Amino acid sequence: MADWIDACATDDIEEEDLIRFDHGDRTFAIYRSPSDEYFCTDGLCTHEQVHLEDGLVQDYEIECPKHNATFDYRTGEALRAPACENLRTYPVKVQGDRVLVEL
């Protein structure tokens, strides 16, 4: 059964940005959209397992800092090569000023 994990405070993430969140032996990326919503994906690019934390977030996309693969962080869909495999996404909810992720 999945658990809701307290990942960060809502104000830990600037609008149109992300933070890295490590839990157990896994890395995740938590995003704050231009419409002030929060999303979570795996934190490594599906192309060469590069951390996305230094990638460019614009609108609803994350661009990998190594080879410029792009993903829609709302759905995980790979939008631009060299990535051809989607990112896994995770449910997110906000309680008060905390962002929780269902893992």
Whether residue 48 contacts residue 2, with contact meaning beta carbons closer than 8 Å, is answered with no
Q: 4-102 has which fold?
A: Rieske Iron-sulfur Protein (2.102.10)
Chain segment 57-76, per-residue pLDDT in tens? 999 999 999 999 999 999 99
Chain segment 2-60, per-residue pLDDT in tens? 799 999 999 999 999 999 999 999 999 999 999 999 999 999 999 999 999 999 999 99
Task: Report the candidate in 26, 28, 24 with the shortest Cα–Cα distance to residue 8.
Answer: 28
Structure token pair of residue 20:
């890295």
| pTM for the predicted model, two decimal places | 0.95
From edge to edge, which strands make up the β-sheet containing 89-90?
Answer: 17-23, 26-32, 38-42, 89-90
Give 23's strand partners.
26
Going from N- to C-terminal start, the domains of the chain cover: 4-102
Task: Report the candidate in 66, 25, 32, 74 with the shortest Cα–Cα distance to residue 49.
Answer: 66
